[in-house]
Amino acid sequence: MKRRGWLGIGVAVVGAGALGYVNRNGITRAVLTSRENEGVDLTAQTDMPTCMLTPEQVEGPFFSPAPDRRDITEDREGAALSLELSVVDAATCRPVPGAVVEVWHCDAAGRYSGYPEELARKPFDTLIFLGAPDGHVERTNEKTYLRGAQRVNAAGWTMFETIVPGWYEPRVPHVHVKVFANGKSYLTTQLYFPQPLVDGLYGEHPAYAAHGLSPYHEGNDLVLGENPDARGLLLRPVWTNRWRASARLAIVS
């Protein structure tokens, strides 16, 4: 092949590479949302046996120790949510005295406190920033919104005042939860929301509507694809003067 021909191919390859880089997040989104998960069992506790051991889900990259507090909202706008959590021993169904529950999640725009907020809508850049899907990343700022920890009461219950989380690339909406007791971590999991509820909020509520509906759901979510046992992890929020949801966290204490 003549030199001019090779040069033309080289220019085309460089051009395609540049175009791919410019559109890297859109291409990554198309690939991720076209995934098809198999065998995901995402169900509510009302459909499961009493005190069944709560399934583990990955911690994810954005965990950092949270302040001891009930109201974790700070200045974040969104649909108010009261999240009631109980900790019991899976073998006896009895409360675990002294257990500490820690929660964290993104805001209505998909941003996590402590980490670069511009990543919420950039799946390629997010995955590069993380380095690995479950690799922990050190925080980059001191913000603490939507993070909190509390000790359960004598009956094994605690409550967090927060908002319904938004969505970010490349995850289905969720709340992270950890349970500690006697200085030891006993459970790391995630709680999920019914699709009709989040679709309604994301389409109408002013704090979410600007970001549109989430293209991620249980059928294509990366974490649920790798951790399909999500029995009992689906919340069933009800509306009073705010959204209210509860979940039992059953551990081997």
- Residue 145 has which token pair? 């919104």
Give the CATH number for residue 221: 2.60.130.10
> Quick check: is 1 in a domain?
no
> Quick check: is 12 in a domain?
no
> Quick check: is 91 in a domain?
yes
Boundaries of domain holding 134: 35-251
State the Cα angle at 130 between 136 and 232, rounded to 5°.
Answer: 60
* Cα 75–chain centre separation: 20
pTM of the model as a whole: 0.89
What letter would DSSP give residue 151?
A: E
> Quick check: is 3 in a domain?
no
How many domains is the chain built from?
1
Give the Cα separation of 249 and 45 in Å (integer). Answer: 10
CA atoms within 13 A on the CB side of 63: 17
- Angle, in degrees to the nearest 10, between helices 24-33 and 3-22: 70
Q: Which residues have CB under 8 Å from 142's CB, separation 6+?
A: 114
In order along its 253 residues, the chain shows pLDDT tens digits of 433 333 333 333 333 344 467 788 899 999 999 999 999 999 998 777 778 999 999 998 899 999 999 999 999 999 999 999 999 999 999 999 899 999 999 999 999 999 988 888 888 888 887 765 556 788 899 999 999 999 999 999 999 999 999 999 999 999 999 999 888 999 999 999 999 999 999 999 999 999 999 999 999 999 999 999 999 999 999 999 999 999 999 999 8
* Cα 15–chain centre separation: 36
Find tokens 């500690």 and name the residue. Answer: 180
> Quick check: is 83 in a domain?
yes
Kindly calculate the radius of gyration of the chain based on its CA atoms and give it in whole angstroms. 21
* DSSP strand pairing (157-163 vs 80-89): antiparallel
> Quick check: is 9 in a domain?
no
